[in-house]
Chains A and B, each alone.
Chain A
Amino acid sequence: MKQTRLIMGMPVTVDIVAPNTDLIIDKVFDYFTYIDNKFSVYKKDSEIMMINRKEISLEKSSSDMQEIFRLAEQTKQETDGYFDIINKSGIYDPSGIVKGWAIYKASKIIEQHGFFDYYVDAGGDIQVNGNNHEGKPWKIGIKNPFNQNEIVKTVCLRNQGIATSGNYIRGQHIYNPKNKSEQITEIVSISVIGPNVYEADRFATPAFAMGKSGIHLIERIKGLEGYIIDSAGIATMTTGFEKYVNN
Chain B
Amino acid sequence: MKKLILSFSIIITFTLYAFFSNSKSNSSPQLASSSSDLNIAPPQSIPNGVMFKNGDYTGTIEDVYYGNVQIKAVISNNQLSDVIFLQYPKDKDNSVKISQRAMPILRSEAIKSQSADVDIVSGATETSSGFRKSLGNALAQAQK
Using a CB–CB distance below 8 Å, which chain A residues touch chain B? 9-10, 13, 15, 42, 80, 82, 84-89, 91, 93, 95-96, 119, 121, 123-126, 128, 132-133, 138-154, 162-177, 184-185, 189, 191, 209-213, 215-217, 219-220, 229, 232-239, 242
Q: Which residue of B lies closest to A163 (CB)?
A: B122
Q: Which residues of B contact A232 (CB under 8 A)?
A: 29
Contact B27 A237 (CB under 8 A): no
Min Cβ gap B39→A in Å is 11
Q: Which residues of B contact A191 (CB under 8 A)?
A: 122
Q: Which residues of A contact B124 (CB under 8 A)?
A: 124, 143, 145, 164-168, 189
Q: Given A149-B40, A167-B131, is A121 in contact with B82 using a C-beta cutoff of 8 Å?
A: no
Contact A87 B65 (CB under 8 A): yes
How far apart are the CA atoms of A187 and B89 in the complex, in Å?
Answer: 12
Q: Which residues of A contact B95 (CB under 8 A)?
A: 80, 82, 210, 213
Min Cβ gap A30→B in Å is 21
Contact B98 A220 (CB under 8 A): yes
- Given A15-B119, A211-B91, A219-B104, 13 other A-B contacts at CB below 8 A? A87-B63, A124-B123, A132-B119, A138-B119, A139-B119, A142-B123, A144-B31, A147-B28, A147-B113, A163-B122, A210-B95, A220-B98, A234-B110
The main secondary structure of chain B at its interface with chain A is loop
The main secondary structure of chain A at its interface with chain B is mixed
Min Cβ gap A83→B in Å is 9
How far apart are the CA atoms of A85 and B84 in the complex, in Å?
Answer: 27
Among A82, A124, A171, contact of B83 (Cβ-Cβ < 8 Å): A171
Contact B111 A152 (CB under 8 A): yes
Contact A169 B111 (CB under 8 A): no
Contact B86 A177 (CB under 8 A): yes
Q: Which residues of A contact B104 (CB under 8 A)?
A: 219, 239
Using a CB–CB distance below 8 Å, which chain B residues touch chain A? 17-18, 21-22, 27-29, 31, 38, 40-43, 63-68, 82-92, 94-95, 97-99, 101, 103-104, 106-129, 131
Q: Which residues of A contact B99 (CB under 8 A)?
A: 213
Q: Which residue of B lies closest to A138 (CB)?
A: B119
Q: Which 10 A-B pairs have the closest CB atoms?
A: A143-B123, A233-B29, A166-B124, A211-B91, A141-B118, A123-B125, A152-B111, A209-B66, A87-B65, A146-B28
Q: Which residue of A lies closest to B103 (CB)?
A: A216
Contact B85 A170 (CB under 8 A): yes
Contact B118 A171 (CB under 8 A): no
Contact A96 B31 (CB under 8 A): no
Contact B106 A237 (CB under 8 A): yes
Contact B123 A140 (CB under 8 A): no
